[in-house]
Amino acid sequence: MTLARPVIWGHRGASFEAPENTLAAFRLAREQGADGVELDAQRCASGEIVVMHDESLGRTTGFAGLVTETAFSVIQTLDAGRGERVPLLSDVLEQVPIRINVELKCDRANDRGLTAEVVRLVREAGAQDRVLLSSFNPLCLLRARLFAPEIPRALLFESEQKWWLRSALAAPLLAVNSLHPEHVLATPDRIRRWRRRGYAVGCWTVDDPDLAAHLCESGVTSIITNRPALML
């Protein structure tokens, strides 16, 4: 039996080799043959949707401030590594013409309009057919379902979450298309069960080609990796 090649997502771009969540990382992932890029979307103090993983700007830019408390007029001046800037989601939608997995970064009940604004930007760019909306926060995915049922959604979960979250019990209510577990949760039995229930399954973060092959043999349909070149 020949296994179908999984979809390869560049985790924050080709982030092993380029500054994470920058246009340089996304372009490199595309050059390396990735099917798409995964990125993190947050709303900054002035309302724009910026691409940044951490709540704080410190780790990647050296600036002591929170994304939600810093205006884009400041964020756009920061060095995100090797002279790269923190991009707007709109820039990525315009300049990266492959699939984009947009993780909605919000750990609160009130997302400050994040989901609605991301949906607006995706529609404005005409990118509904190449965007996936993902989140650890079920409320963000519920909003995404209400605001944009045409855009596919994925539920993220990890081993450190409460049992009912890491068991993906909310998936049917959210009507997600995909489950994106931390790879340690993706046992062969669970993968088979999820696939029987109709979900695509994407695992993160997988940088070992042997682990990726094992997961794909068990039925995983996509791999989220910092090193897309190793997976192709």
List the CATH number of the domain containing 32.
3.20.20.190
Residue 87 lies in a domain: no
Domain that holds residue 101: 7-40+97-231
- The DSSP-derived string for the chain is -PPPPPEEEEETTTTTTS-TTSHHHHHHHHHTT-SEEEEEEEE-TTS-EEE-SSSBSHHHH---SBGGGS-HHHHTTS--STT--PPBHHHHHHH--SEEEEEE---SS--TTHHHHHHHHHHHTT-GGGEEEEES-HHHHHHHHHH-TTS-EEEEE-TTS-HHHHTTTTHHHHT-SEEEEBGGG--HHHHHHHHHTT-EEEEB----HHHHHHHHHTT--EEEES-GGGG-
**Residue 164 pLDDT class (50, 70, 90 cuts):** confident
Is 53 one of the catalytic residues?
Answer: yes
User: pTM for this structure?
Assistant: 0.97
Residue 65 lies in a domain: no
Residue 214 lies in a domain: yes
Q: What is the pLDDT of residues 26-52, one digit of tens each?
A: 999 999 999 999 999 999 999 999 999
Residue 194 lies in a domain: yes
Percent of the chain with pLDDT over 70: 99
Point out the catalytic residue in the list 11, 180, 183, 214. Answer: 11
Point out the catalytic residue in the list 53, 180, 183, 214. Answer: 53
Between residues 76 and 162, which one has the greater pLDDT? 76
- Looking at the structure of the chain, the number of domains it has is 1
